[in-house]
Structure 1
Amino acid sequence: MARRSRLAPSRSFATSLATSFAASLLASVFFLPLDVRSAPAADGPLVVARAMDVNSLDPARAYCDTCQIYLSAVYATLLTLAPDNQTIIPMLAKSWEVSPDVTTFTFHLDPAATFSDGSPVTAQDVKWSLERLKNIKGGPAYLMDSLKSIEAKDPATVVITTETPNSEFLGILAAPYTGIINAKLAAANGANANADAATSDASDTWFLAHSAGAGPFVLESYTADDALRLARNDKYWGKKPGVPGVVLKQTADAVTQAQMLQSGTADIAMQIDPDTAKTVSVPDATFKSVPSFNFVYAAISPAAKGAPVPLTSDVRQAIALALDYKGAIDFTVGGEGKEQSSAIPNGYPGTKDLPAPVTNVEKAKELLAKAGHPDGFAMELEFPAMNVYGVDLSLLAQKVQQDLGKVGIKLSLKPVPFTVWISDINDPGTPFALGFFAPDYFGSAQYVQYFGMLPDMPWANRAGVGKQPGLDGKEQLALYHKALAATDVPAQEAAYRDLALKMIDDKIILPLVSPNLILAYRNDVSGVRYSACCNLPLGEIEKK
């Protein structure tokens, strides 16, 4: 199964400033003379300040946080995710049926659905778009891993068949990367869905300047490291957007984003961290802390060539017991976060009432002595030198270093550029590392695939599944197929819970912080919410 590199470097915020420095800088910024404050007109575009991370604007190639926001605004999907972040609801498909064996999915398209040029969305467009997503082999191509065939039965009916049962396929079809493209328009500009599309498709540059979707907005322009501009799709077949356009403005750090929010030059600031939020005073703006599905973790790779000692189950258990999970949340995000039990995030199927992570320094010392390391050992902790979801990984690394020092494990810290980190964890392998993850859709399979001990999956390969004692992968693979074949929610929940418990026992992935997300927006803006599939649904936002 082809699997994407989930940890895109663009998933970061700029390095956070120390709280004291932020406070002094904000003091000088937030009390500007009134004559230099230039709030945008109420009938002007919605301005969103964020550190942008665009790698492409092609639905089959784009893979980043900003990409989620853009694609869900410009391209419509067959299905979407309700505001509860769990319920699948209609979008392009007004209704659908699923076969009893969860391998055949029949969708009936809404006859009102049209692309931005006024042409109807057809079953052939759906077939072309999803086959292209698979064949381009870009970052989000893994979403179509189970795809067997797509048949356009008639212009309004499409039948999708998967190779094996896939109870998460409906959730996958709500991911913005599965947005349906105007096939005729894109094909006329170099796009194709052929089996060799990864090398023969020549449309990536065209997509940077044009859009071909059925969403509430269209692409107006994109300038790298500056702004991504959207205009309202006047031919949108659904509820018209509440703003005439959107400007996603490149803004590297939280302090500058907060400045723009205070001065009125931005309506929404997307990456305000908890520390910065506590230092600012903006009476006409809202700062709301909400739980997210993002998390930061430590990872142990027994198969890494540079492991200083055998990273056996006892050693991994000792490392896990030495970590101060609550302290990590307090230290990095000022308590604005949650503990997370497994590599499946809180609130996803299978995570209800999982045992909380435990800190027990004395037990950790006993396990290290049992493993033959009564005095501990020295080891390197490698991590991307970046700030993700409001968590400064350098600060977190210092906390981990302090915790493990209490049991005799002497960590040396190795911050590296993300590109170096992602290369190192694959070859030669990194014995101990920090990483991060955010969802592509609502469904637990993506986490089991990436983090579970399944043959040929990323962290299973790094851990040495099938080669290390206790990591044979067979049990988890069976549970994984059981979860995907489940035909009811209780059965699916039970299978994913068993998988979560097994992943906890393996102690390969140790979740450390699930940070809250700060929603920061001016009070004349409404409809701002966090979406597990789409990040920030722009089509729902209005401005007075």
Structure 2
Amino acid sequence: MRWHKGLAAVVAAGSLALTAACGGGQVRGAQGGGTPQAGSASGAADATFVYVPNLDVVTDWDPATSYSNEIIAMENIYESLTRYDPQAKKATPRLATSWKSSSDGKTWTFTLRPGARFHTGKPVDAAAVKASIERTKKEAGGPAYIWDSVESIKAGDPATVEFTLKYPAPLDLIASSDYGAYVYDTTAAGDLKAWFGEGRDAGSGPYTIDGWQKGKETELTLKAFDGYWGGWSGPHYKRVEFRVTPEITTAWQLLQRGEAGFVQRLNPQLFAQASSQGAQTSQTASFQNLLALFNTESGPLKDVRLRRAVQKAIDYDGLVAALKGSGVKASGLVPEGLLGHVPGREPVQDLAGAESLLKEAGYGPGGKSLTLTMTYAQGDGDQQLLATLLGSALDKLNVRLEAKPLQWNTQWDQGKSADPSRRQDIFVMYWYPDYADAYSWFFNVFRSSEQPAFNLSYLKDDQVDREIDALPALTATDRAAAEKAYAGLQARIIDEHAAVAVLFTQNYQRAYAKSVQGYADNPAYPNVVFVYDLKPGA
């Protein structure tokens, strides 16, 4: 899940499910009459993939501004020029079949896939790519920043798009972003914003919207787009349903009864049971970590000694042990597998060091009492565990932690408050990148901003800003220098400023039925299942 970008994404305790049904695709399973199971002879032709999130799916239907939960549907409806391959650790073809850049990294040329069409019937050509990206930039929504390097776009011929950049940037990676990179038909309606808002789409992906009922349990249904460039020969799921189910135990029961085939995440106890009870399981390292952002601007943590004391008080090993495989110790801000990851930065608890820093600032045992406020995601068991462990550790140091679970919008609004006195001392949230590059952590979370959005440590450092601004060009032209710059920034932000504690990096743990074939996790698209790539098996 990602509690950022303005709205909550899929909650860590969320669930997703897969099954097959005939006709209309409703999940009936054990309810009298026997719906065909996934891959059965009678159900394979019209097999339905049922994704069971625990939150409402759609917060924004506009592909230019979508930046939240709906990613799980949008990545099946829309396509980008490229898609990130975590095994190859590079961008691979999607709507573009090939691309090249100039030696200075400031001119990029993409060759488009022949025969791709939008669900509106219009061709995916260079003019459409140019128009969709220019509209996304103009709308200036949460994800639009990914195109900041783009100065101009030229549609030379129907199959060729040329980008001229203001500064070098890895545009092949940027074009694979999980948000903001969708290509869509901007001519679908006069008022696109209103048209999308009614539950319509203008994508080119394998599925198109069949029905949307906001607030209903089966909120969203997709159907196969017959004109998809990839074709529909062989076994495929022809329908997709998103069935909102708040309780993870309900998803587990659906899996056990054969009514569901794929669970996004189980708690450690249920995950341990899954393989012994006939399900397939997978555990994949993610690009998602949990951050505790410390208020550097106001309140008691304005004192860097106190921020460092809290960093040292956290029981990192105890937290990870309690996660039982669903998380690992983080080494810096950047997860392993991304440019900028620095091994050997794993934090350790140091209560003696924390006590010494507190005493130096006049607090701690025998000193003044200190109260700190912390906000975290309501309903997230891992964050609740952090609150319990940190509260216990700080209590030994004569520090009282007032940890408050909040709905994301409430937590985020408090963090962004124009009145510093209303803000929290510690803000807990998950973060993962918009494309498979570490830049997202630094630009979004730690670059100075007058009105805080995701910079909820309120850090303001001109030197940090300059180093952050240099990252895209270095990544595009000198990866060794980029590695060094990322390492230096992490030392400055974590050690010098003590603006954050990186609590752990998540492991994605999935459980799914034996009939599910072709599933592979892609950490660059958190919690997305690319349904077209799956096969309904026996």
Is 1:70 aligned with 2:59?
A: no
- Partner Cα separation in structure 1 for residue 384 and residue 157 of structure 2: 55
The 3 A distance-change label for structure 1 pair 45 and 446 is same
Residue aligned with 1:294, SS? strand
Alignment match of 1:40 (pick from 37, 41, 57): 37
1:453–1:460 CA contact under 8 A, matched in 2: no
1:215–1:233 CA contact under 8 A, matched in 2: yes
Q: Which is worse superposed, 149-158 or 51-60? A: 51-60
Alignment match of 1:484 (pick from 473, 476, 481): 473
- Partner Cα separation in structure 2 for residue 376 and residue 233 of structure 1: 66
- Partner Cα separation in structure 1 for residue 430 and residue 151 of structure 2: 31
The 3 A distance-change label for structure 1 pair 460 and 222 is closer
Equivalent residue, structure 1, for 2:529:
536
Equivalent residue, structure 2, for 1:434:
428
Amino acid of the residue matched to residue 175 of structure 2?
L
Equivalent residue, structure 2, for 1:172:
174
Q: Deviations over 1:476-533 (max 9, x none)?
A: 5235404533414333322222222222212211111223212121111112222233
Q: Which is worse superposed, 533-542 or 443-452? A: 533-542
Alignment match of 2:507 (pick from 516, 525, 529): 516
- Partner Cα separation in structure 2 for residue 109 and residue 440 of structure 1: 23
Equivalent residue, structure 2, for 1:19:
none
Residue aligned with 2:470, SS? helix
Equivalent residue, structure 2, for 1:384:
376
1:519–1:529 CA contact under 8 A, matched in 2: no
- Partner Cα separation in structure 2 for residue 163 and residue 148 of structure 1: 5
Q: Percent identity?
A: 27
Equivalent residue, structure 2, for 1:373:
363
Residue aligned with 1:317, SS? helix
Alignment match of 1:399 (pick from 386, 389, 392): 389
Equivalent residue, structure 1, for 2:126:
123
Equivalent residue, structure 1, for 2:155:
152
Alignment match of 1:364 (pick from 351, 354, 361): 354
- Partner Cα separation in structure 2 for residue 436 and residue 377 of structure 1: 30
Count how many residue pairs are aligned between Structure 1 and Structure 2.
Answer: 500
- Partner Cα separation in structure 2 for residue 320 and residue 353 of structure 1: 18
Equivalent residue, structure 2, for 1:503:
493
User: TM-score, length-normalised on structure 1?
Assistant: 0.84
1:368–1:376 CA contact under 8 A, matched in 2: no
1:519–1:528 CA contact under 8 A, matched in 2: no
Equivalent residue, structure 1, for 2:21:
none
Residue aligned with 1:404, SS? helix
Equivalent residue, structure 2, for 1:203:
195
- Partner Cα separation in structure 2 for residue 457 and residue 107 of structure 1: 36
> How many Å apart are 1:456 and its aligned residue?
5.0
Alignment match of 2:63 (pick from 59, 65, 87): 59
Matches within 5 A, 1:315-334: 315-331=306-322, 333-334=323-324
Indicate the RMSD between aligned Cα atoms, in angstroms. 2.8
The 3 A distance-change label for structure 1 pair 341 and 77 is same
Q: Deviations over 1:73-113 (max 9, x none)?
A: 11121111114273101111111122233222211112232
- Partner Cα separation in structure 2 for residue 347 and residue 181 of structure 1: 30
1:85–1:532 CA contact under 8 A, matched in 2: no
- Partner Cα separation in structure 2 for residue 296 and residue 403 of structure 1: 19
Is 1:82 aligned with 2:85?
A: yes
> How many Å apart are 1:438 and its aligned residue?
2.8
Residue aligned with 2:287, SS? coil
2:334–2:342 CA contact under 8 A, matched in 1: no
- Partner Cα separation in structure 2 for residue 260 and residue 56 of structure 1: 29
Residue aligned with 1:502, SS? helix
Alignment match of 1:338 (pick from 328, 334, 338): 328
The 3 A distance-change label for structure 1 pair 461 and 205 is closer
- Partner Cα separation in structure 2 for residue 36 and residue 370 of structure 1: 72
Q: Deviations over 1:291-335 (max 9, x none)?
A: 22222221110213xx1x35322221111111110111223x234
2:82–2:95 CA contact under 8 A, matched in 1: yes
Equivalent residue, structure 1, for 2:258:
264
1:450–1:458 CA contact under 8 A, matched in 2: no
The 3 A distance-change label for structure 1 pair 488 and 366 is same
Amino acid of the residue matched to residue 491 of structure 2?
L
Equivalent residue, structure 2, for 1:236:
228
Residue aligned with 1:296, SS? strand
2:86–2:524 CA contact under 8 A, matched in 1: no
Residue aligned with 2:302, SS? coil
> How many Å apart are 1:243 and its aligned residue?
1.5
> How many Å apart are 1:381 and its aligned residue?
2.9
- Partner Cα separation in structure 1 for residue 382 and residue 99 of structure 2: 44
Equivalent residue, structure 2, for 1:277:
271
Is 1:292 aligned with 2:286?
A: yes
The 3 A distance-change label for structure 1 pair 453 and 57 is closer
> How many Å apart are 1:115 and its aligned residue?
2.3
Matches within 5 A, 1:417-456: 417-427=407-417, 428=420, 429-454=423-448
2:326–2:509 CA contact under 8 A, matched in 1: no
> How many Å apart are 1:454 and its aligned residue?
4.1
Q: Which is worse superposed, 172-181 or 234-243? A: 234-243
